[in-house]
Amino acid sequence: MIKLTTNKSLYKELKNKQDSFGDRLSLFLFHFAFILKEFKNDENNKELQDLYDFNFRQLELSIREIGYGDQSINKKMKDYINTFHAIISEIHFWDNMKFEKKRDCVGVFLQNFNNTEYLVNYFDNFKDDLKKNNLKSFIKSVNTQ
């Protein structure tokens, strides 16, 4: 997912020409939300839960390394988890949304991006790619232990 999130084409039309931690995190959370949405079934529940726990544990470790204190970390993690769940709620009916609604959805979470149309098309294609693969193909290099 980090490889997907660091795709330079996603950042070509930033409003202030410099991506931030928040921009990268939001793109990461969008990718992760689509993965959870696409692969959610009884067969994948444990792996998806492990992946969810792993991702947010790694996020917490990353913000600790930046130097935030415990109280700040707790607040930030709550904000990040709430944002992630809001993204999941917004994309729940992605396949049935009109393009304009998808653009608005992306724009809410990715406010530093000028070309949200490009991002909608990107995530439409990403979702199609997910349908052609299985969960193991996306997490084969992730060790959640």
pLDDT of 14 above 70: yes
- Quickly state the pLDDT bin for 142 (edges 50, 70, 90): low
Tell me the per-residue pLDDT of 37-63, one tens digit each, with 9 for 90 and over. 999 988 889 999 999 999 999 999 988
pLDDT of 139 above 80: no
pTM score: 0.87
Residue with structure tokens 């990268």?
24
Which residues fall within 8 angstroms of residue 109, CB to CB, at 6 or more apart? 26, 29, 30, 83, 86, 87, 90
Q: Give kind and range of the element (H or E) at residue 125.
A: helix 116-131
Tell me the per-residue pLDDT of 76-107, one tens digit each, with 9 for 90 and over. 899 999 999 999 999 999 999 999 999 999 99
Q: What is the full DSSP assignment across 89-110?
A: HHHTTGGGS-HHHHHHHHHHH-
